[in-house]
Every structure is written in structure tokens, then in C-alpha cells.
Structure 1
């Protein structure tokens, strides 16, 4: 009995793989095909996924097929950049726009030739305009650059570099000249500017020297009116309360005019106080009539002293001749009258 069971178990174990392989479930793959089914379709689709990159060279080919249009567009952009430069003149802009309108050949000609000729002329004009406010050093530099057949590069370098160097040299000379004979404030400011940067020297000549000079002018005006006459003090105070230009004008001419007024007022005062008797009109001595007493005759000086003179011989001008003759005639008439009066008195006494 045990032997038969053992034989049955062996038989079952031997037949089990065959039964499983022959079963419908294993044949259709219902239990084992689930993990394998996604892998089976993916294998044929991989070649399709990598095909688009192989088609990209066809997409980038059109720009390479239009070389002429690309060059013309580049030239157009180059010209637009040239005429957009702040240094571009009106003539440069006009020529650039015309080249763009005329087409590719005109644009190429403008870039290779025309722009350089126009730029050379433009910089020559700019350099010539510098002479309007240039000092002697810069003016000489301008003459020198025009005497040579300067290239565009040389003209640009002169305009952007050399002119500033020459202008600074002229500014140094001007500052040194201003400091000669200047007041203490202006001298100190000039010294600082000469030791500073070119911009410091420009600023000093533009505004600083005027401010410092005005401070010195104020000090000088205060010294001028110290102890001066009323007109000088009045004009000086008005200048101090006025503008810098008023103070310059006072020191240049105003103080002298005020001094003249004070001097004239002083002279008039002296004439009025010290020489008043000389300015009275003398009473002429009449000729004595017969029968009158000579005691009534004036024995004073009947000569009229001219204003500003000290006697009949004080002046020697031609206009004095008539006055001298008149004085002598008066003296003779007076003497004859006295003689006649004396004779009449003696005649009366003899009777």
C-alpha cells in the first residue's frame, strides 16, 4: 500500500511539467506575457525616434543659399551705424541715406570710399572752428595740421587728443599771467589750479578766477575809500553793495571820478571861505569935480585882481594887456583931478 502511494506521487511529479506546457493558460501567455508585452512593441519604434535629427541639415541650408542679400543687409546696417554716430555731419547722413536708396553697389562704394572722404572734410571743418576761442598755442597747432596733407586718422587724433593738450598749455599761460599783480586770493587760487588737473585749470579760468578776483576787488575798494572824501566813500560803498562788474568799474574809472568831485568841492569851499574879499566887486573912484575936497578921494588899490591871480603882474597872457592899459588910464585921470583941485584951492586963497 505504501509502495503504491509512492509510485503515484512519482508519476504525478513527472507528468506536471507536461501538463503545464500543454495547458491553454501557458499557451496564450496570460500569466507570463504581462511583463514582456511592453518590451515587444518598443523594439520596432526605436529607429523612428532617432530619425528627426538626421533631417536637421535640410533646415539650416536656406541662409547659405542667399549670400548676396546677406552682404547687402550687412552694408545697410553698417551705413546706419556710421550716420548714427554723434560726430556724423549732415552731409554724411545725407550721403549715407542716398547710398542705401541707390542699392547694393552704392552702399559698398560708400563704405569703402565715400565715408572716408566725407569724414576727412568734416574733421577739417571741426578743427578750423576751434580757432574761434583758441589761445596762441592751439592756433599754431591748427596751422600746422593744415599745412600737411593730414590723413583722417591724423585729423581725428588732433581733434580728440592734441587740441586738448595745446589748450591746456594756453590755460597755464593765462593763469600765470592773471596771477601777476593779482590780489592774495587770486594768487592762491592760481597756484592751486596750476598744480591741479586740466579740468581744474578750465574751471579756474571759467568761474574761479572771477570769484577770487572779486574778493580781492572788495578788499581793494575798502582800502581806497578808507579816509577818502564823501564822494569817494559814497561811490565805493555803492560798488561794494553792487555787482562784481560794478566793483571792477569803480576801480577802473569810478574812483577817479569820485576823487575829482571831492577835489572840486574842496577847492570851492576854500575859495568861499579864504578868498571871499577878493571876489567883491570894487567900486570905481570917480574923478573929483572942481570945488570938492580931495579928502573924499579913495587911496586904495583900484586895480581889479583877476580870479586866481595875485596882482596886475600875476598873469602874462595877451588878454591882460587891455586890463593894464585900463588901470594906467584910471590912475592918470585920478592924478589930474587931484592936481586941478589943488590949484583951485591955491587960487581961492590968493584972493
Structure 2
């Protein structure tokens, strides 16, 4: 029994190397439990480092989603100087309400609000508009104008209509103006719209003042003291002072000069004596001859304070009312009485 066992063991030991060398695992240098050759010991497993993602398009960048793009678009819209307060409030509300509200604001709401804003802006143009611009505003506000039509009117058409009104104003100013103002007006009419605006805003006042100075100097030439005084004050004053003188001041000064002349004439009249009426000549008495002792009557008026010479010879005495320049009839009657007495005295002889 022992010999048979020993023989079996020897047989197995002899066959084992041949079997191992012929197996596939051994041919590849591997065994079921470990590699065929020793290797360096491995380090403990380390967590894998994060690798940067591949390049992405702008729309795909983190934080730059459609909602973020809409938010940026709305912020740009409300930052526009033309944006009204209503536009700004609506845009901020859309941002606060979320992506859906922002998309609706961009696609619809902003256009409706902008159209209303242009209508408001166009309406405000009426304040200083001329006839042509007012008519244009009336027409576009009555129509169902689109946003583009409203924008074009506000940015282009209103300026064309305003220039048309400016031309009419300048032509009206030129009519009847002084030489300096007329020349400036014609130059502006031949220039650009900006030239016409500048003329109406600043140029016409300077040129008009130059003409006013010339006109005031002409009024002062030959004027009365008050006109000269007021004219000199206007020339030394402001353009408004000169315009006021031509409008009302010259007439007030001229009225003062006229009243002063009338008062002077009245004072001159009061200083002269009252003229005495010229007496009517009395016809000669029939039967008498000049120089015969009889009097035909005094044909002159006795000066005040004098005495009646002829009456004194009759003994009638002085008469105050004759001495005061009485009527010619009384003097003539006294002469006739004296002549009658002389005739009676001659008869008695």
C-alpha cells in the first residue's frame, strides 16, 4: 500500500510542470490570483480632477439662457432716452414677473407702448406749432397710423412742416421792416432750415433793434423837448426800451409837448390888453361948417382917465361915464346942444 501511494505521488509530481506550462493563463503571464511578474505597488485611488468643459456657443453659456437674453433686451429698451416712464415701469414689471412676461413684453407690449408714446410726443408739438404743423398733427392723430408712420412724422415730417411755418413768419416780418431787418430776412429765406430757426430765435431781434435806433433818431429830429428827452433815454436803454418808445413812448412825449405849447400860448394871450372897439363916425349936423365954432361930434374915443373937453365949456362938469370912453352918440348930442345955444344967442342980438 505504501509503495503504490509513493509511486502515485511521484507520478503526479512529474506531470504537474508539464500541465502548468501548457495552460493559456501561464502563456500570457497571468494567474488567476496575481500577475506573473511583480509590479510596483500602486498608490491609493485619488479622486479624478474636474476637466474644463468643451467650448460652447454664447447661447449655451451657463447663465445666458433665453430668459437672460430677454432680460438684457428689456434693460436696453428702457435705457433708451426716448423711453417713457410708462415704458420703464412696464419693462421692470415684466422682468419681475418672469420669462413668459419678458417674452410677451419684447414681442408685443413694447410696440404698443412705443406707439402710444409717439402719439403723446406728437400731441405736445401743438404748443408752439404754426398753421402747417398744426394741420399735419391733426391729420396724423385722426388716422390709424402705424408705429413706423408715427416715428417718421416725429423724426422727419414735423421738421419739414415747421420750416414751412418759419418761412411764412419770416416773410411776414420782412413786410414793412426796416432796411437792416429786411436784408436779414431775405438772407434767411435763401438759407437752410437752421438759418431760418436762428433768424427767428436771435437774428431778427438784433436787426430790428438797429432799425429802431435809426427810426428813433428820425423822430427826435425836429421833435419837441419831451420827445427828444424820451428818445435819448430810449437810445441809452435796452432794446425793449427802444421798442416801447416806438410803440407808446413817442406818442406820450408828443402829447406832453403839445400840451406845453398850448399852455404857453394861453399865458401869452393873458399878458396883452383887451382891444377897444373902433367907434362909428357920426354924420355932420346940417347947416354947420367945420371950424365955425360948432362941433360935429368927437370921432375918437377919450382915453381912460381923461376928461371930456367940450363938455367942460358948457358947465356940465365931468362925467365919469363919458371919461370912461362912453358912446359916440352921447358926445355928439352934447355938440348939438352947444350949437343950438350959440344960434339963440346970435338971434337975441
Q: Distance in 2 between matches of 1:294 and 1:214?
A: 79
Is 1:231 matched up with 2:226?
A: yes
Does 2:292 match 1:268? no
What are the equivalent positions in structure 2 for 1:1-351 lying under 5 Å apart? Answer: 59-60=54-55, 70-277=65-272, 295-297=319-321, 298-299=324-325
Report the structure number with the largest CA radius of gyration. 2
Q: Distance in 1 between matches of 2:75 and 2:59?
A: 24
Q: Structure 1 residues 261, 144: CA separation in 2 closer, same or farther (over 3 Å shift)?
A: same
Deviation at 1:299, TM superposition (A): 4.3
Q: Secondary structure at the match of 1:78?
A: helix
TM-score (norm 2): 0.63
Alpha carbons of structure 1 residues 194 and 98: separation in structure 2 relative to 1, 3 Å = same
Task: Give per-residue Cα distances to partners, 1:113-133, cap 9 Å, x unaligned.
Answer: 110111111111100000000
Query: TM-score, length-normalised on structure 1?
Result: 0.63
Q: 1:152 and 1:217, CA in 2 relative to 1: closer, same or farther beyond 3 A?
A: same
- How far apart are the structure 2 equivalents of 1:67 and 1:268? 101
Once the two structures are TM-superposed, the CA of residue 276 in structure 1 deviates from its matched residue by 3.0
Distance 1:239 1:199, change over 3 A: same
Residue segments in structure 1 that go unaligned for 5+ positions in a row: 1-54, 280-291, 302-334, 336-351
Count residues in correspondence: 238
Which ranges of structure 2 fall in alignment gaps of 5 or more residues?
Answer: 1-50, 275-315, 331-349
Q: What secondary structure does 2:319 align onto?
A: helix
1:147 and 1:257 mapped to 2: Cα distance? 51
